[in-house]
A and B are shown apart, each in its own frame.
Chain A
Amino acid sequence: MFGVSFLSPLFLVAAVAAAIPILLHLFHRKTEVVIDFPAVRLLKRAPVQQHRRRRLRELILLALRVVALVLLALSFARPYFAGAVAPESAALTVIAVDQSMSLSAPSQIDRARDAALRAVDAAPSSQALALVTFADAATVAVEPTTDRGAVRAAINQIAPQPRGTRYRSALARASELIGARDGRVVMVTDLQQSGWDANDEGGLPDGVDIDIAAVAPPTGNLAVTSAERRDRRVIATVQNYGNAEAKTTVRLVMGGNTLAETDLTIAPLAAADVELTATLPRTGQAEVRLDDRIGYQLDNTRTVSLEPLSATPVAVIVADPTGASGGLYIERALNVAGGGREFRVDVIDGAPLATWAQDDLNRRAVVFVLGTRTLGRAGRELLKTYLAGGGHVFIALGPMVDVGTLADVLGVAVGASADPVRTPGATMVATDGRHPIFRPFLNPSGALGDVQVDQYRRLNDQQGRIVLARFSGGDAALTEQAVGEGRLMIYTSDLDNEWSRFPLNPAFVPFAVETARYLARGEKTGERSAGFEARESNPAATTAEEFTNAIDRTNRTNLIDAGQAARDVEDQQRWWQVGLLIMLGALAGEALIGRRAT
């Protein structure tokens, strides 16, 4: 229901002044003279209704004066209609509903809507409700209101979106809505584990309870995680996220016609490449589709561009003015990909990088940084701008990297130790084997475990940094994080055969190629972005307890001013101006009528 709230309710006390004209009126009435008169019978024949008219006029004057005073007080109290924003004092229940891609399994979104509707019914009638829908970004679908009908209607409109999951964005939005008042959050979600991976911030204020309405994920899921054209073929990768072997049919569809089709059996938690051969036009788009009756539906299709691919430009920055060996291994590894046509690799020393224009660097889909010691100030600035502007940088913290200037190179503090950790023979283990970079190592599994490293730099734990692989001692080996608009991957050892023999390992070439492909993803492969990352297809879920424990708690004093939303609404409505205008009108009317009465 709509209600009126006030930004400065203390001014309403001034409305008591409205009693002044009323008291004066009553006092005047009490002191009205009574005159004993003998010829009242003659007076009655006179038009005494004049007096009644005057009384009416006095009442109108009284009403106008009272209205003027009340409006003055109301205007100073800054009223606003809380149809969009519930009264600030009202306790608030925020219902946050997950509508990410991982809610697209059959009947899953229906269960999510039912859970949200139950939360509406369970909320005390005295509390305001707000609805937040979220995927990789959170949206306030219904501002705090007491109108249950509006909330229910909005819930019924929720549909899964082809987006990833970011719980923290939803929590941050809920926190803003709750502000300083009493509040509660009902999180309707599938508790997908990957929802915590994104590099963002957000938590709940102290004292705000959270209830989890879990929507069970599917027992398995098949997803087309990549697709690209290679000559007359389309190579698609299908991932089985389930714990059971899965069979499916993969089709290549263009303009409603099935161009190719193949049946596929995939082992549990494994990926498989599918070759779909057909006579393909030189231009246009095709879709790779698979059948998945139990898993997410929005990851069953992937669009692939049929345009001929051009080589992906990659730069390798080294600290080797002689050009003898710096970047040799990574260059060789990338040059074998795609029959030597997939990547065009330029190896450059840090010093001459300063002569490049920013556009020269920006054209590179991926920049591998293996040494920074020869980078000048201009070169560092080029790299920093490239990364912040959306570039993809892979840096190996080998001996040729000057840790002290890393912040200048990357625009972000990496938190790496200056001295390497010496652990001869340390092996590397993927923490998330389903990450696209480790896709070649899943089947056969264990190939990455043969990599041995003698030295590496230790990284501090940082929020927003995802550890993709660790060394056997537990330290991070490979991490990924967002920097500005770009993405940064940090390998904490060396790729030039100085601190490890990884470049000599058979796993190095697929690792380098998949890393370059992953970072260049969507830009040069002809594959259109699906709107969500591959991990969104992974139905692995946390428990409600784990979910609750993962929520960062924030101090209420650090919150955005809770009244800001109300102030914004009041500022938009500006009823105080209307009140003052009416008050002026009332005063003008009072003056006019009062003048005629005298």
Chain B
Amino acid sequence: MPGPARYLDPAIIARLGTIDLKARTIVEGFLTGLHRSPYKGFSVEFAEYRQYLPGDDLATLDWKVYARSDKHFVKKYEEETNLTCHLLIDVSASMAYASATVTKLQYGSYLAGALAYLMHRQRDSFGLIAFDESVSALLPASARSGHLRLVLLALERLQIGTRTNVAKPLHDLASAVRKRGMVVLISDLLDDPASVLEGLKHFRYRGTDVIVFHILDPYELQFPFEQAARFRDMETEEEVAAVPGSVREDYQQNMQDLIAFYQRELGLAGIDYCRLETSQPLELGLMSYLMTRRRVL
């Protein structure tokens, strides 16, 4: 992972200091890469002209101005400020799982922090809601300059909760959100899929766009265990004794069925679904967000 993109590696991000630094590093790294991408210049709008200086991208030259004035000017853009985004992060016990150094909650908080930073740069209004069975932390959406710090501080202080009940906070929040905007759900979705789906559809009924980041640990996908063991549910503490070699195939199929269910049903409901593994770069998450944002705007 050469260049700035290496800062999107969750393992490297985890070694950085505060969530503020992490978020900035992620976003700056992402945006640096974005200049070379076909998405250049999107999501920003014109602010002013400035005289061309050597080194400026020729693509930013305003040829019409040059035709009229015979001078070289480049266009300057600034971010929009007309989107309200709610970051919903699942802090249930299952999010504490980590097969490597980064737990799903850490990964989700990095993602939420990066998104918040990105939103801040784009002058979007954003808020943060942490939940397990119920809402455990709530920062209403705001675009004020100090709000980013509050959000990042809240992310820094997230505590693992108990059992997941995604549906209930979603219903509560869907009822509370009045302004049309965007909801970003960061969760492992280890709840009753039908209930989760109903909760997310509730947002769609109210015209809110939703993007779901399905955070999974690689071990949850691969189930690479070898030794027979008792597997204890991190939320219910229920234990199931199993020989991995015997149950792996069925487990993987069950997981794929779950993912396929979310992909299919969320897609039908007009909800963006992005599956992220905690070993994957956060770039994918940011890219998915920007894609959704562009559609919303």
Contacts and interface: CB of A to CB of B under 8 A. Distances in A.
Interface of A: 32-48, 50-52, 54-55
Nearest to A48: B242
- From A36, A40, A48, name the one whose CB has the most chain B CB atoms within 10 angstroms: A40
B233 A38 contact: yes
Given A35-B232, A38-B190, A54-B228, 8 more contacts: A39-B220, A40-B231, A47-B247, A48-B242, A50-B242, A51-B228, A51-B242, A52-B241
Nearest to A58: B228
A36 B254 CA distance: 19
B232 A48 contact: no
Interface in B74-127: 93-95, 97, 104
B238 interface: yes
Contact of A36 (B220, B234, B243, B258): B234
Contacts, number: 96
A40 B243 contact: no
A38 B241 CA distance: 14
A36 B258 CA distance: 20
B251 A46 contact: yes
A43 B232 contact: no
A137 to B, nearest CB: 71
B246 A38 contact: no
B240 interface: yes
B229 interface: yes
B255 interface: yes
B206 to A, nearest CB: 30
A40 to B, nearest CB: 4
Given A45-B254, A54-B228, A36 B241 contact: no
Given A51-B241, A51-B242, A42 B254 contact: yes
Contacts of A43: 223, 231, 240, 242, 247, 251, 254
A54 B225 contact: no
A54 B231 contact: no
A276 to B, nearest CB: 101
B255 A39 contact: yes
Contacts of B172: none
Interface string B245-262: 011001100110010000
Given A42-B255, A42-B258, A46-B254, A36 B232 contact: yes
A124 B235 CA distance: 68
A462 B230 CA distance: 88
Contacts of A33: 227-230
Given A46-B247, A48-B240, A50-B243, A37 B231 contact: yes
A40 B95 CA distance: 13
Nearest to B239: A34
Closest 9 pairs between A and B when the two form their complex, measured CB to CB:
A38-B94, A46-B250, A50-B246, A40-B233, A46-B247, A33-B229, A42-B254, A37-B231, A38-B97
Given A47-B247, A54-B243, A35 B254 contact: no
